[in-house]
Chains A and B, each alone.
Chain A
Amino acid sequence: MTDPRRPSGGRTAGSWEVVAVLLAVAIVVPLLVFLYDSESPTLFGFPFYYWFQFLMIPVVSALTYVAFRISAAATRRERREHQP
């Protein structure tokens, strides 16, 4: 799912796995329509169907941001190891 790591990124492999899981959740959950195809419970007048999808926007954004931070840190580590 994610960037295959640079040739010998052994120490950062775990980070990339976390990134892959975060992104997979972010991509799959909004596509599972059966999770949210109902009118109730409503929130501020919005049927569940609508507010759940709106809620997904910041949730996925946050997941992607965490993935960004982890990937940036992993990339920095890899680059340090390769360029003493």
Chain B
Amino acid sequence: MKNVDPVALTVFLVLFVLVTVLGFLAARWRKADSLDTLDEWGLGGRGFGTFVSWFLIGGDIYTAYTFIAVPATLYAGSVVGFFAVPYTIVLYPIIFIFLPRFWSVSHRHGYVTPADFVRGRFDSKPLALAVAVTGLLATMPYIALQLVGIQVVLEVMGIGASGSASWLAKDAPLLIAFAVLAAYTYASGLRAPALIAFVKDTLIYVVILVAVFYLPSRLGGWSHIFASAKDSFDGFNKQNAGAIAAGTVAGKGIIPPAAAHWAYASLALGSALALFMYPHSLTGVLASKNRSVIRRNASLLPAYSFLLGLLALLGFAAIAAGIHVTNAQESVPALFQKEFPAWFAGLAFAAIAIGALVPAAIMSIAAANLWTRNIYKAFINPQATPKQEATQSKLISLIVKFGALAFVLGLPTELAINFQLLGGVWILQTMPALVFALYTRWFHRWALLAGWAVGMVYGTATAYSVPAPGKPGSHFGGPLATVPFTDTKGYIALTAFVLNVIVAVVLTLVLRSLHVAEGVDETRPGDYHADAGDPGVEDVLEGEAGTAPSAR
């Protein structure tokens, strides 16, 4: 077992205690009469402005796992991992287009989850259930991966290391961290991660900015960092030339070869389309107070992408610094430990760990809301009062978190990563029912359900059949597979999505010609443009937005 550095540990603990206190105090922030409704507990009162939303949404989508996994792929020589940058570039123009409509219709009708909208638009419980279950399935492993992020940091720090004697010593730190997280999420709802996100993002910005200016000066400048990465990869390619030619080992490099262009672009596009299908991303959006907050943030959030790109390059910096770890995910934490004084390393580790708590809290709230609105209220207790809904959600948020914890502790990490990979494939299959439906009611509800099912089955089966490089016969080896009728590799989620849409279009034509009942749409065209201050939009606002519809 490694020696625990007392300075790093102290800094880490102090920051952790600070966010815990903040998490509980959050219940008093923007104080509501009662937290006993989903609008208050689950959406923070639906009143966050540009500033808070920027931190909340940023803290939500740039997770600790991203911060560990993206540089890890570059460290491992897979430059395709840098797709995270174009992904988070094209993401914002995309959400600029459709999220304001989703915000408007949700506020008019009091929708809390994406599946709420699907039910209202298509008058179809099965379709809403499909969307809700997909959301739950995709979110759970995502929460589990946040725990993996904390675990990696703890391991590098030497606490909870895999070498410890008993499972209790090994897992206790993680258990405590999660119990604390569960307690303040239960007490404060969405206000807790919103407030903690300030600390998280400030820490991350400080750490990354220091790292990207300080590290190159220690490691001979960026040109030297890129050169050492390239040399290391070239050396690897020469050594394994035979295996690479035979296709059993993947070649390494710092620029993707032409054959990987579509893989790169489809991963970026597919992930960008999928991200705001995740219930937790939409939770952050619904908590904002008007349409302009979303559009303004679409041009402000890319600041995080810059950070993510710089962070990704620390994977190369780790190579230049001579870091050798077998688990690539430990490369960046190990880099911090080697190159920085102990107190700063402690700060960096705390940033990553707190970075895991914010999204984990939002995800568990979103998953709990899905359960409450689209399974509990839809099927078990249709007469549930707002207070019963809130109680149910609070309870489920606990269960969801401990489910994720059990998942991480009881099952191999690999499995969480595989499910996360599948989650991205699955969640994109809800896009036609969710996003297309914001613009048109042309699609038939049963056709959408069939398209979803085809996309889910195709995506799952294809992902299952992808072997890991060098391990024929293994499964879930990566997000890429050959696109049917071509010999180009592409992101499975996007291929499945195209199939999904084709099925939905063809079946809509068939069902319409057979005059199958299509249900009653409870939304009206004007709902998609409603803004704060308009009649019927929940009155939770004050100030400029509430006074005149034309004010902003």
Contact = CB atoms under 8 A, between A and B. Distances in A.
B256 A27 contact: no
A60 B92 contact: yes
A26 interface: yes
A30 B296 contact: no
A53 B86 contact: yes
B264 A26 contact: no
Nearest to A49: B255
A11 B305 CA distance: 36
Contacts of B305: 57
B156 interface: no
B302 A45 contact: no
Contacts of B313: 50
Given A34-B258, A53-B82, A60 B90 contact: yes
A61 B306 CA distance: 11
Contacts of A72: 292, 295, 552
Contacts, number: 121
Contacts of A68: 96, 292, 295-296, 298-299
Interface residues of A, number: 45
Given A3-B97, A57-B305, A72-B552, A37 B222 contact: no
Contact of A58 (B222, B226, B302, B531): B302
A13 interface: no
Question: In the complex, which range does the number of interface residues on chain B fall in?
Answer: 35 or more
Nearest to A39: B255
Given A30-B268, A37-B256, A45-B224, A60 B93 contact: yes
A3 B298 contact: no
Contacts of A7: 525
Interface string B225-237: 1100000000000
A47 B265 contact: no
Nearest to A48: B255
B550 A83 contact: yes
Contact of A4 (B92, B306, B439, B526): B439
Contacts of B254: 39, 47, 49
Interface in B110-166: none
A47 B299 CA distance: 26
Chain B interface, DSSP helix/strand/loop, else mixed? helix
Contact of B93 (A26, A42, A76): A26
A57 to B, nearest CB: 5
B225 A61 contact: no
A15 interface: no
A34 B223 contact: no
Chain A interface, DSSP helix/strand/loop, else mixed? helix
B222 A45 contact: yes
B86 A31 contact: yes
A77 B96 CA distance: 19
Contacts of A54: 85, 306, 309
Interface string A6-42: 1100000000000000110011001111100111001
Contact of A64 (B92, B264, B265): B92
B6 interface: no
A24 to B, nearest CB: 8
A47 B309 contact: no
Nearest to B272: A27
B516 interface: no
A71 B97 contact: no
A54 to B, nearest CB: 6
A33 B261 contact: yes
Interface string B303-317: 101100100010000
Contacts of B226: 45-47, 50
18 contacts: A1-B97, A2-B97, A30-B90, A31-B269, A34-B258, A39-B255, A42-B223, A45-B224, A45-B225, A46-B226, A50-B82, A57-B302, A57-B306, A57-B309, A61-B92, A61-B303, A72-B295, A80-B550
Interface of A: 1-4, 6-7, 22-23, 26-27, 30-34, 37-39, 42, 44-47, 49-50, 53-54, 56-58, 60-65, 67-68, 71-72, 75-76, 79-80, 83
The 9 closest A-B pairs by CB, nearest first: A45-B223, A45-B222, A65-B299, A26-B93, A33-B261, A64-B299, A61-B302, A31-B265, A23-B93
Given A1-B97, A27-B90, A67-B93, 12 more contacts: A3-B100, A3-B101, A31-B90, A37-B255, A45-B224, A54-B85, A56-B89, A57-B85, A57-B89, A57-B305, A68-B295, A80-B550
